[in-house]
Amino acid sequence: MRASYAVIGALVAALFSAAPAAAQSGAFPAPGFGLQPAPGSWPRLQPVSVSSIGDTRPSPPAAKKDGFVWDNRPSLRYGDWFQLDGKALLEGAVESHDPDDTGDGTSFEWGRRRLGVQGSVTQYVEYEATYGWEPDGVWRDLYVNVRPLAYAQIQGGKFKIPFGYERLTGPRTLDFVYRSRVSDALTPGRSVGVMAHGRPFKRVIRYAVGMFEDDGDQPPDLESMDMVPGEQPQEQGRSWAARATVAPLRLTSLPGRYNNLEVGGAYTHALVPEGRNHLQGDTVFGGEFFDRQYYTKGPRTRLGLEVSWAIGPAFLAAEYIVSRDAREGQGVGNETQVDPDLPEIEGRGWYVAGTWVITGENRDGGVNPKRPLLQGGFGAIEVAARYERLSFESAGAPAEPPSRSPRAAHIAGNADSAWTLGVNWYVNRWAKLRFNVISETLDDALLGPAPGASSLRTMVTMFQIGF
């Protein structure tokens, strides 16, 4: 444990010492992963992916210069026809749980560890390649975006399926250590595919429509069924997704820092092979409160609604998501009947969250400290709160009592409600510390990770360094 704290201290100290040097060199570093074009070049792309929604904080324009440039991050630039920006992210967290069934006490765990590049080739092509080591080495984002027009773009490769506001938010601009339970459980994550997207009508509307090879990497791995002789193994079918948001206040005369209210919705459809392959519910505490106990087969659909609004130093966000896993032919028939369909397994969740930057910085696009630590100030301080609920049950109202049988018509559902209170310290443009206290309450404690304990508490402090 002492070694873990020493690692955190050394990394943060390195960032503190680098900040004044960067300021003296004339660079204007700003947080976030995003293209920072030189004056007179094209606007920065904001695709519907991890790099588009999560990290869009503005920064002062860099002096036009060819070759190596340090402008918020290391960069290679050659006029307006080529740009390559480096990006990196390192996270670690110290956390404790109550009750502590494992006996581990307070522990340290590494979080996201990523390296990548992104950039542009002429004003019509942009790209990103990011590799992550959590938990195993894998390409996180690997795509090319072609943008002949701001409102008509095509993106292809591996990136986030356009569904879920919080899921699409990049890790450097998340308000809490962990995403909400509904985002973790019900959103699809990344997949390989192609997507048309853009922002027409003076950026009032944002849309994205895509086709992908599977249902994303966020749901658990699929269970394979035992094959009878001559039967072909089933594979997961392709999925498609659509998302649209509207920013109605952009049509008014409100100042820019108040007119970014966005309201939207999204939908996904995928085919899931036969098996115990429905979505599951996990607690922040660790472990499942609704495990993959029941057989499913057929379409998986999701419907999501979202709203977000940054108002000066304040920020509000809310989401509502419903998922349904079909159970085609999963009932128990007899010798003269085919197996009947069973009611779908429905996941339903929502959250409401709010933050306030008490040091006064503007919240739109992320917090940029006015007076970083060791540069005449203490950084920026933000307080945050969130309430959420995630539940699983049989769709409709089956007449029979609930059961844990894998082919039950009325499943034994469960739900998790949670409060999160947090404080975020933006040390400088690159370093941030988050402290969260999370209190969870389960409807059925016997199905939870600590049988008999309906109340679960987690305390976590996370450091984050990145550019």
For residue 389, give the nearest of 446, 453, 451, 440 by alpha carbon: 440
Q: Is 63 among the domain residues? A: yes
Res. 167: pLDDT tops 70: yes
Say which residue, 40 or 129, is predicted with more confidence. 129
Give the number of domains in the chain.
1
If DSSP codes are grouped into helix, strand and coil, which group holds residue 167?
A: helix
Give yes or no for a contact between 312 and 361, defined as CB atoms under 8 angstroms apart.
no
pLDDT, tens digit, for every residue of 275-284? 999 999 999 9
Give yes or no for a contact between 19 and 12, defined as CB atoms under 8 angstroms apart.
no
| Band of residue 300 on the pLDDT scale cut at 50, 70, 90 | very high
Give yes or no for a contact between 267 and 164, defined as CB atoms under 8 angstroms apart.
no
The span from the CA of 382 to the CA of 75, in Å, is 30
pLDDT at 339: 77
Mean pLDDT, rounded, of the chain: 85
Compute the average pLDDT of residues 248-257: 84
Res. 51: pLDDT tops 70: no
Compute the average pLDDT of residues 162-177: 96
Q: Is 150 among the domain residues? A: yes
Q: Is 330 among the domain residues? A: yes
Peptide bond connecting 135 to the previous residue in cis, omega within 30 degrees of 0: yes
| Band of residue 234 on the pLDDT scale cut at 50, 70, 90 | low
Q: Which residue's structure tokens are 């990770």?
A: 449
Domain with residue 23: its CATH number is: 2.40.160.10
Q: Is 229 among the domain residues? A: no
Residues with Cβ within 8 Å of residue 20, at least 6 apart in sequence:
374, 375
pLDDT at 2: 40
Compute the average pLDDT of residues 53-57: 38
For residue 344, give the nearest of 300, 387, 293, 286 by alpha carbon: 300
pLDDT at 233: 58
The span from the CA of 449 to the CA of 442, in Å, is 10
The pTM score is: 0.83
Most confident of 3-17, 52-66, 112-126, 329-343: 112-126
Q: Is 189 among the domain residues? A: yes
Compute the average pLDDT of residues 200-222: 92
**Encoding tokens for residue 205?**
């509307």
Q: Is 190 among the domain residues? A: yes
Q: Is 226 among the domain residues? A: no
Query: 16-25, 189-198, 210-219, 439-448 — which is least confidently predicted?
Result: 16-25
Q: Is 231 among the domain residues? A: no
pLDDT at 232: 59
pLDDT at 191: 97
| Band of residue 47 on the pLDDT scale cut at 50, 70, 90 | very low
pLDDT, tens digit, for every residue of 98-155? 988 777 789 999 999 999 999 999 999 999 999 999 877 899 999 999 999 989 999 9
pLDDT at 1: 41
The span from the CA of 39 to the CA of 10, in Å, is 37
The span from the CA of 420 to the CA of 25, in Å, is 40
Per-residue burial over 425-463, b = 16 or more CB atoms within 10 Å of its CB, e = otherwise: bbbbbbbbbbbbebbbebeebebbbbeebeebbbebbbb
pLDDT, tens digit, for every residue of 377-391? 999 999 999 999 999
Containing domain of residue 180, as a range?
Answer: 2-221+236-466
